[in-house]
Structure 1
Amino acid sequence: MKIFHGRDALPRRLKRPVVLTIGNFDGVHVGHQALLRHVVRRARALRGTAAVLTFDPHPVKLLNPDRRLKLLTAREEKRWLIGETGVDAIVCFPFTRAFSRLSPETFVRKVLVEGLRVDEVVVGHDYAFGHGRMGTIDLLRALGHRYHFHVHSFGPVKVGGMIASSSNVRFLLAEGKVEKAARLLGRPYTLSGHVVHGAGRGAGLGFPTANLHLHGELIPKPGVYVVRARVGRASYNGVANLGTDPTFGGTTMKYEVHLFNLKKDLYGKPLIVEFLKRLRDEKKFSSPAVLVAQIRRDVARAKRFFVSARSARPARAARSTRLVRAGRRS
């Protein structure tokens, strides 16, 4: 997959016909994946190029910073996930205030027609573009007729009655509902970080922890979670606590992971943590001994979760995931 950066890098020599989709694709959830695979299928049928136009920074970050939007995926992770769908090229366009003021027609003419020479454009069901998001899908179709490219709208994709959207994933994670978020994402929600020195209290309680400096923006709701962590090529099951350590009078958020059967030193090493299930809220216990008893129960529940997951895997593999997509319009 080729990646093009910036206004001056618009790839005018992409193999035509060019089938393009446009969006931010934060999280690359199952709705995004279905749209991207549709673009790839169209491009393969036409023997052309499947391309994605995306923006950096996210428009909300620039135009509405007070919202404090927290992204689901870092830039490199998003590109990797998009590439996994089979897309041939990503064009990452700088989103500036000047760019945000382009009229819908100017955006289409300068970027899609003169810059990318598109032949087909596939957009999500709620797509809007141009200054103030004034451009609608109907307007895009009219401009496509004028500039000789076809427009298709796609979606939405639903999982368990909920539309797969970045906003819904963010809402579920903020509520600690990591299992439901995983169904919308098509994978467990993941955060990466580096192991840093902590107080060493976990080891003293009999449950040594890796204290993390996390790199992601969106942290799930504080509490205790079943996790799987990747350290290099190795993978370990465990439990994570996101919270302030109130039993010991803590007030600062900490991110600690206790990994089963791990003996080696992890200080300074990168960790990738998958959030699989929420066990409980963080709470203040009356004594360290009561806390230790609860941790033992958390660990036992987590281990039962992994045993259950292993036994359910063959049955799950035999069932296809049901994604309900409400009418596609062309």
Structure 2
Amino acid sequence: MEIIHSIFDFTPIQRTYVTIGTFDGVHIGHQKIIEKLVAEAKANGKQSVVLTFFPHPRMVLQKDVSIELINTINERAKLLEKTGLDYLIIHPFSKEFSRLTALDFVRDILVNKLNISKLIIGYDHHFGKNREGNIEQLTEYSHLYDFKVEEIPAQDIDDVSVSSTKIRRALAGGELKTANKYLGYNFSLKGKVVNGKQLGGTIGFPTANIDVAEDYKLIPKTGVYVVKSFVENKQVYGMMNIGNRPTVDGKHQTIETHFFDFDKDLYGKELNIELIFFLRDEQKFNSVNELIIQLKKDEKTSREYIKNNL
């Protein structure tokens, strides 16, 4: 898959099959659309193209709204690469771009720049200035500019209306099993291991403190999770606490992971940690000793879950 960072840098050598969207999460609904796109493009000797945008349109058009995304743009690209796609175009979204009318978008972008042969879109897709474009207009323009349009009905996407919004809500509510089911993979957090207060090491539970650089990345509900990661090409399991450490200071949110049967120095390393099971809510204990007792229980429960389910 080749990544292009602007529509205007793309020069197709043949006609294309295209789908458009922000694709946050690249969930099972998105995957179904893209798999269909790739398969049909190959069968007809065309190039498959996903057109997506960054920043997310809401980041540009509603700056007072704090948006949290399931994937960073780099995570989204890696997930899309797995689909066998030919091209991923990540176009910079701007207010100027948002003012393109539906006709301008179809004529100037889809036809003149992408050399479109077929557009495959999800249910209820809107586009253009004020989201004025819809399936009816697309069908009308397709006859004018000689390309095909296919809309995938909602009922064909796993018989449920899977949406990025529903997945975000599930993650915010600690419903990790539901979120991972809709995603079709485990939600993950990626960041650099930074220095913490090193309390974990003094109580027998050393932790890797993860700093997620992207402020728009969704951080799930506070609490304790069973997790896994690849560290130095080895799969390791552990438990992660997302929260404010109320027993110790309760001031700043941290993301701390204790890996089982692992004692190497991880400071400065980039880790991608998959969340696989929500264990419990964050709690405040009356003493550090009570915290240690609970952490031992958490480790036992986590190991049992890993043994019986993974």
TM-score w.r.t. structure 1 length?
Answer: 0.90
Q: Is the CA contact (8 Å cut-off) linking 2:8 and 2:113 kept in structure 1? A: no
Label 1:43 to 1:146 Cα distance change in 2 as closer, same or farther (>3 A).
same
Partner of 1:325: none
Could you say what the CA RMSD is over the residues aligned between the two structures, in angstroms?
A: 1.4
- Residue in 2 that maps onto 1:290: 290
Counterpart-to-counterpart distance in 2, 1:111 and 1:121: 12
The yes-or-no answer on 1:65 pairing with 2:63 is yes
* Alignment map for 1:16-55 (pairs within 5 Å): 16=15, 18-55=16-53
Find the counterpart in structure 1 of residue 145 from structure 2: 147
CA–CA distance in structure 1, aligned partners of residues 71 and 62 of structure 2: 19
Matched residue, 2:235: 235
Kept in 1: contact 2:7–2:89 (CA 8 A): no
Amino acid at match of 1:33: Q
Q: Taking every aligned residue pair, what percent have the same amino acid on both sides?
A: 37
Offset at residue 80 of structure 1 (A): 1.7
Letter in 2 for 1:15: Q
Letter in 1 for 2:147: F
CA–CA distance in 2 between the matches of 1:8 and 1:88?
Answer: 17
Deviations 1:208-262 (A, max 9, x none): 1111112351100111111112223122100011111111232111111000000
Aligned to 2:81: 83
State the alpha-carbon separation in 2 of the partners of residues 180 and 100 from structure 1.
33
Matches within 5 A, 1:311-326: none
Shift of 1:8: 2.6
Q: Deviations over 1:52-103 (max 9, x none)?
A: 1111211111001222111111222211211211111112222111110111
CA distance in structure 1 between the partners assigned to 2:41 and 2:242 by the alignment: 44
- Between the aligned partners of 1:214 and 1:94, the Cα distance in structure 2 is 22
CA distance in 2, matches of 1:118, 1:253: 47
How many residues align? The count is 307
Flag structure 2 segments of 5+ consecutive residues without an equivalent.
none
- Kept in 1: contact 2:14–2:115 (CA 8 A): no
1:15 and 2:23 aligned: no
Measured in 2, the distance between the counterparts of 1:178 and 1:66 equals: 28
**Structure 1 unaligned blocks of 5 or more:** 311-330
SS class of match (2:111): helix
Offset at 1:182?
0.5
Is the partner of 1:67 in helix, strand or coil?
A: coil
TM-score, with length taken from structure 2:
0.95
Q: Are 2:174 and 2:221, in contact at CA under 8 Å, matched by a contact in 1? A: yes
Contact 2:17 2:48 in 1 (8 A): yes
Q: Distance in 2 between matches of 1:184 and 1:233?
A: 28
Matched residue type, 1:222: T
In structure 2, the partner of 1:134 is: 132
Q: 1:177 aligns with which of 156, 175, 178?
A: 175
Match of 2:247?
247
Q: Secondary structure at the match of 2:64?
A: helix
- C-alpha distance in structure 2 between counterparts of 1:111 and 1:190, whole Å: 34
Shift of 1:15: 2.2
Other structure's SS at 2:143 match: helix
Does structure 2 conserve the Cα–Cα contact (< 8 Å) formed by 1:191 and 1:215? Answer: no
Q: Which runs of 4+ in 1 moved over 4 A?
A: none
Contact 1:128 1:135 (8 Å CA) reproduced:
yes
Question: How far apart in 1 are the matches of 2:267 and 2:152?
Answer: 46
- Could you tell me how far 1:162 is from its partner in structure 2? 4.4
